[in-house]
Amino acid sequence: MQNLFIDYIYLILIILGLIMLANKLRLAYPIVLVLGGLVLSLVDEFSRITISPDLVFFIFLPPLLYEASWQVSWKEFWRWRRVITSFAFPIVILTSCVIALVSHALIPGFTLALGFLLGGIISPPDAISATTIMRQVNVPKSLVSIAEGESLLNDASSLIVFRFALAAVLTGRFQFQEAAASFALVVFMGIGIGLLVGVVFYAIHRWLPTTPGIDIVLTLVTPYCMYYAAEQLHFSGVLAVVSGGLLLSNKRQQMLTYQSRIQGVNVWNSLVFVLNGLVFLLIGLQLPAIVGQLGTVSLRSAIEYGLIISGVLMLTRLVCTFGAAIFTRLMSRFITVAEPNPGWKNPFILGWAGMRGVVSLAAAISIPLLTPDGQSFPHRNLILVITFIAILITLVLQGLTLPWLIRKVKPTEQDTTPSEQQQELMIQQTINQTSLQFLAENDRSNEHLVNLYEKLKLDQRLLDDELHEPNNQKAVSRLAYQRTYLNLLQQQRNALNELNRQPDIDEELIRKYLSLIDLEEYRIREKQVFPEALNEP
């Protein structure tokens, strides 16, 4: 046990190095981590580390889904709800059907039930890779919102397909009406359980005397409670986490104090950073174990099957995304849609961004070794190899070419909303107006309040100038002011560190003021409409 723990410590250190390399090369870190895992699998020290499906489904999946639901904008999610649900349910089901037919025709002895099982495994794209790349390249906000929203639901739909297909293989029977009714029940009850557990935790946060530490621990426990409660009742644990997470995310201002929100973000960012790194590295580490379990099927044949099915998988997603765009144009004649004319660029980018990830591998590994009658599960090892090849091909091929494709296609935001720069200026202007109105209605005899009022008036005038003339000299002046102010904050840090050398100064107080300077720097950098400009000379 101790040796295994040390091995995971080594893995985390390797992950940090690989992610720094990915940042240096400007690549999506999941690609580098998977390739790094492949290399590590050749080292005896790490080749014995295996991934348990229970470990992924219960330990890794709930917090990753919960954090994603907190990051997704509910307003954007609702705005693109039709596109997101079409990607998460109809496209996943259609992809499973296509993979079932192709694999049944391609692989000798591969039944349709096994084909649907394989389709349910490899149909859900992994949005972590796609959104990581999209954030590195200038893409419309709508593409990122759709990819993030899709990631919250497609895992659930694919795992439900996988569950029913597995039951069909094990029992040898499948009734469409019964399966459709069970599918609906699993979906709606999973959502209901997630909302119910979410309400319970909302009440705990809101009305019990919690502290920031207790709040953070509760947020860590919440997704596991949602997932476990739904799975114990044989409903969708994934949808329970997603629905409950979206509910609590929308209520964060009412149920959490500012200390809990600030500290919680730091804890969750670090936790998700480590979990994502581990799961992608563990994918690469599974290659020797998977290849060693092929049995009677030759490695060459397995690779050929995997390459063909991977190609069909990518082509099917592209066809489905264009089909969804055409369907949206038709429906825009009858109902109001978010984008009546999607064009071809955005669907093309979303179609090519269908990289597969850890959920697919975990589902494949969770296939039982034996059937109820004691026979070996048919083609289990071949399904594992095909799944791994699909993950590897889509991650490497699509992941490496997606940035180039985005630059060549140059997708444009067809929305008429103000630019992000204008929106930030409008937000800052609204905050200033509210502050000025509040101070004007209250006693300003206090000289500090007078000073604050005059400062806000000056800021408001400068914001008005920037909002109406964003490229004028006032904007350049404000950027120069902020750069100088950041240098001033660094001088304050240096002075405090020098003051800390004196033996009669309490270091805890020094750390307190250093933290306040950090918060001030964060405020300045986030308030700038182009934060990266502050790093330029």
pLDDT at 301 over 80: yes
Two tokens, residue 209: 């005397």
471 confidence band (pLDDT: 50, 70, 90): low
pLDDT of residue 248: 94
pLDDT of residue 392: 86
Higher pLDDT, 171 or 102: 102
pLDDT at 490 over 90: no
Task: For residues 11-19, give the mean pLDDT.
Answer: 92
- Bridge partners (DSSP) listed for residue 376: 370
The Cα–Cα gap between 185 and 188 comes to 5
Task: For residues 435-462, give the mean pLDDT.
Answer: 77
The Cα–Cα gap between 206 and 465 comes to 41
403 confidence band (pLDDT: 50, 70, 90): confident
Two tokens, residue 482: 């902020």
Counting Cβ atoms within 10 Å, is residue 56 exposed (0-12), middle (13-18) or buried (19+)?
buried
pLDDT at 329 over 80: no
Task: For residues 243-270, give the mean pLDDT.
Answer: 88
User: Model-level pTM?
Assistant: 0.79
Two tokens, residue 355: 């990289």
Nearest to residue 156, comparing CAs of 217, 209, 105, 230? Answer: 230
pLDDT at 315 over 80: yes
Task: For residues 388-394, give the mean pLDDT.
Answer: 88
pLDDT at 380 over 90: no
pLDDT in tens, 90-132: 888 899 999 999 999 999 888 888 998 999 899 888 767 777 7
159 confidence band (pLDDT: 50, 70, 90): confident
Q: Annotate 197-228 with DSSP letters as a single string.
A: HHHHHHHHHHHS---HHHHHHHHHHHHHHHHH
Angle of the 81-88 helix axis to the 90-106 helix axis, nearest 10: 20
pLDDT at 223 over 90: yes
Q: How far is CA 5 from CA 8, 14, 51, 270, 279, in A?
A: 5, 14, 14, 19, 16
Counting Cβ atoms within 10 Å, is residue 264 exposed (0-12), middle (13-18) or buried (19+)?
buried
- Bridge partners (DSSP) listed for residue 370: 376
The Cα–Cα gap between 379 and 381 comes to 6
| Termini Cα distance of the chain | 51
Task: For residues 195-212, give the mean pLDDT.
Answer: 95
Query: Within its chain, how far is the Cα of 477 from the centroid?
Result: 37
pLDDT of residue 64: 85
17 confidence band (pLDDT: 50, 70, 90): very high
pLDDT of residue 173: 67
Return the residue matching tokens 């419309």.
140
Higher pLDDT, 158 or 229: 229
Mean pLDDT of the chain: 81
Q: In the chain, what percentage of residues exceed pLDDT 70?
A: 86
505 confidence band (pLDDT: 50, 70, 90): confident
Higher pLDDT, 98 or 38: 98
The Cα–Cα gap between 115 and 103 comes to 6
Task: For residues 197-218, give the mean pLDDT.
Answer: 95
219 confidence band (pLDDT: 50, 70, 90): very high
Two tokens, residue 191: 């959502």
Q: How many CB atoms lie within 10 A of CB 215?
A: 20
Q: How many CB atoms lie within 10 A of CB 486?
A: 17
Two tokens, residue 513: 């003021």
pLDDT of residue 87: 79
pLDDT of residue 133: 74
232 confidence band (pLDDT: 50, 70, 90): very high
pLDDT at 386 over 80: yes
Q: Residues 400, 27: contact at Cβ < 8 Å?
A: yes
Q: In the chain, what percentage of residues exceed pLDDT 90?
A: 18
> Of 97-106, 212-221, 327-336, 378-387, where does mean pLDDT reach its minimum?
327-336
pLDDT of residue 195: 96
pLDDT at 198 over 90: yes
Two tokens, residue 73: 């904008």
Q: How many CB atoms lie within 10 A of CB 165?
A: 24
pLDDT of residue 157: 80
Task: For residues 48-69, give the mean pLDDT.
Answer: 79
pLDDT at 536 over 70: no
